[in-house]
Structure 1
Amino acid sequence: MSKNCLDCGKPIMGRIDKKFCDDQCRSNHNNKNKNKNNSFIKTVNAILLRNKKILEKLNPEGKTKTTLEKLQKAGFNFSYHTHQFTTQKGSVYTFCYDYGYLPLENHWFLLVRKVE
């Protein structure tokens, strides 16, 4: 019984447990599978990074206020964040990595930077 390469389909010569005809086919096959599995993760990470950059740009001082309109115009996606922090008073800050926001009244937001 002859086995074929999992990447190119050519017959494999050599060891009985060999799956690929050469290193290039092994690498191609593994890279294809890796890209399929990680495309969702890459998409989410790109959105999170864009959100962080928007918050960083609108908040150069570390703490400021901005409007919902400015965040939306910049392309901020409120559906994605890394974590939330609840204060002792019950206020919930939403973070994208080390930059966060707190919704205020009348479509205003308090932007903060987490300092460690």
Structure 2
Amino acid sequence: MKTCVRCGDAIVGRVDKKFCCDGCRSAYNNSINKQRDRNIRQINSRLRRNYKILSELNTGQKVTASKKKLISKGFDFDFFTQAMHSSHGITFYLYDQGYFPLSNGSYVLIRKEVPKRNKLQE
């Protein structure tokens, strides 16, 4: 007789069953995915924080902010969603909010125009 992978109870039913019930199957899979999901949540949290900081500081289409100011607000330069080469070097983006370094150590904050979708694209 086969036993449940999670709790060890006897399994009744199909020959290839691994769990005694949906609760054990769900709990087992949740425990397996726990670390991976924790990492994803931590990364998303840092991306959200960076996005919020850029959104608060970028009140226009183009604003300058010092590295010190960004760091003091909790900005983490290691987390961004896209990096693009441009005429002024590399521009880093967090979704539609972007920034690129200036030679004096400050950063220009920009907002990328997101194209509007028309009904034919939907």
The one-letter code sitting in structure 2 at the alignment partner of 1:65 is: T
Whole-angstrom distance in 2 between the partners of 1:110 and 1:82: 17
The one-letter code sitting in structure 2 at the alignment partner of 1:54 is: I
Q: Give the counterpart of 1:104 among 86, 91, 102.
A: 102
Aligned to 2:29: 30
* Helix, strand or coil at the partner of 1:101: strand
1:92 matched to 2:85: no
Cα 1:57–1:90 shift into 2, 3 Å = closer
The one-letter code sitting in structure 1 at the alignment partner of 2:18 is: K
* Helix, strand or coil at the partner of 1:76: coil
| Count of aligned residue pairs for this structure pair | 114
Q: Deviations over 1:11-37 (max 9, x none)?
A: 212221111111111111122222232
How does the TM-score come out when normalised to structure 1?
0.88
Aligned to 1:82: 81
- How large is the Cα RMSD of the aligned pairs? 1.5
Aligned to 2:69: 70
Aligned to 1:113: 111
Instruction: Name segments (4+ residues, structure 1) moved above 6 Å.
Output: none
* Helix, strand or coil at the partner of 2:65: strand
Q: Indicate the percent of aligned positions where both proteins have the same amino acid.
A: 39
Whole-angstrom distance in 1 between the partners of 2:61 and 2:51: 13
Structure 1: 5+ residue stretches without partners? none
Aligned to 2:8: 9
Whole-angstrom distance in 2 between the partners of 1:14 and 1:56: 56
Cα 1:115–1:33 shift into 2, 3 Å = same
Whole-angstrom distance in 2 between the partners of 1:34 and 1:98: 30
